Structure 1
Amino acid sequence: MNIAIPMELREYIQQNIIPQYVNFDKAHQIDHVEKVIEESMKLASYYDVNVSMVYTIAAYHDLGLCEGREFHHIVSGRILLADETLRHWFTDEQLLPMKEAIEDHRASNKQAPRSIYGKIVAEADRIIDPEVTLRRTVQYGLSHYPEMDKEQQYARFRKHLNDKYAEGGYLKLWIPQSDNAERLAELRKLIMDEEELQRVFDELYTNEKNGDV
């Protein structure tokens, strides 16, 4: 079923959907959605799936951030379903599972995604690169909690990493072919090293506050 993505669909998403990410926080900019698309397409190669559906799900997965983070996965699914232009390429029978896949991508969801499409985008969205994950965590804290001082930011940073990524954390991996398991083990090792974690945070915090890339 891995049929090539129609050029018109690719152009529509590149010109009208991806640019919307410029309006979101630093952890969810255009580089983020492009990385999720790239990872999604790589994971899709292991399964008998419609790659146009995979590509589109990945592109729309965080658009709901326009209404805030708490329900962004629900809003993102609603935005996809409401986009009449997508009906040039997809049927109602395809759009519904695409909406559900977006709803299911959030890491804090307790249930497994309802389809392979949801598992692909959820796994791709994990992007467990320790360096990227740590930087995005600092960026999120500075963007959403600007009133916090450095000590409070570190406490939030450490709590988030433990709640989500440490042993027993809520993050679940769904696709065995991804590189995330190995990267997660590396990240967990760092989380357990309090001294090194503080050092990494200090460096990232300083860079972000100074506007360094």
Structure 2
Amino acid sequence: MVATAARARRQAFGEGFALFAECLLTGAWFALAALPVVTVPAALAAASRHLRAYTAGEPASWGVFWADFRAAWRGGRPAGLATTGAALLLLLNLAVLAQEGVPGRAGFALATFAVADLALTVLLRAAADWEPGSRWRDLSAAAVEHTRTDAGGTGLLLGGVAVLAAAAWALWLLAVPMAGCLVGAAVAVRRRRLDREADAGE
């Protein structure tokens, strides 16, 4: 009995470490695909689908990732442009708030970061649900609803985004592996939501 429990713990540790390593690798793939910035939603979608396939024991390779990325980009150009526009607006807002003499700039800066955190959380939820042929408008609408109704999952993703921002602030290279872990968190939140919905439907 003790030996069996020890083997189970070793197996669980090995599987958990393998998943962590896959998240790090996915972060590197995501970073490459997201370099043009406008491709961030498509890169997130491909990364999420890769980790979903990996955890389900389905084929998960660079070739499959690239095929998913191209499919997500073909149908996600408007989402990419909207994300890029929002990022530029955020940077412009922060540049203004960085100037001396702006009244209430600390509060406005905090509000800006909070809105950016929430927006990225919604994007992560939408990307985690992406399938070939999905419409980003529908994915975004569903993600907003899930963000509102799944407070626990939303809190996890908000915290994950904050950790990613802090890690990147400390050392920008950490953003690459942390991005993969954040995508893994989005996939886990999605899986938890689907399990809860399945239990509620029984």
Query: Normalising to structure 1: TM-score of the pair?
Result: 0.24
Query: Normalising to structure 2: TM-score of the pair?
Result: 0.25
Identify the structure with bigger relative contact order (alpha carbons < 8 Å, sequence gap 6+).
2
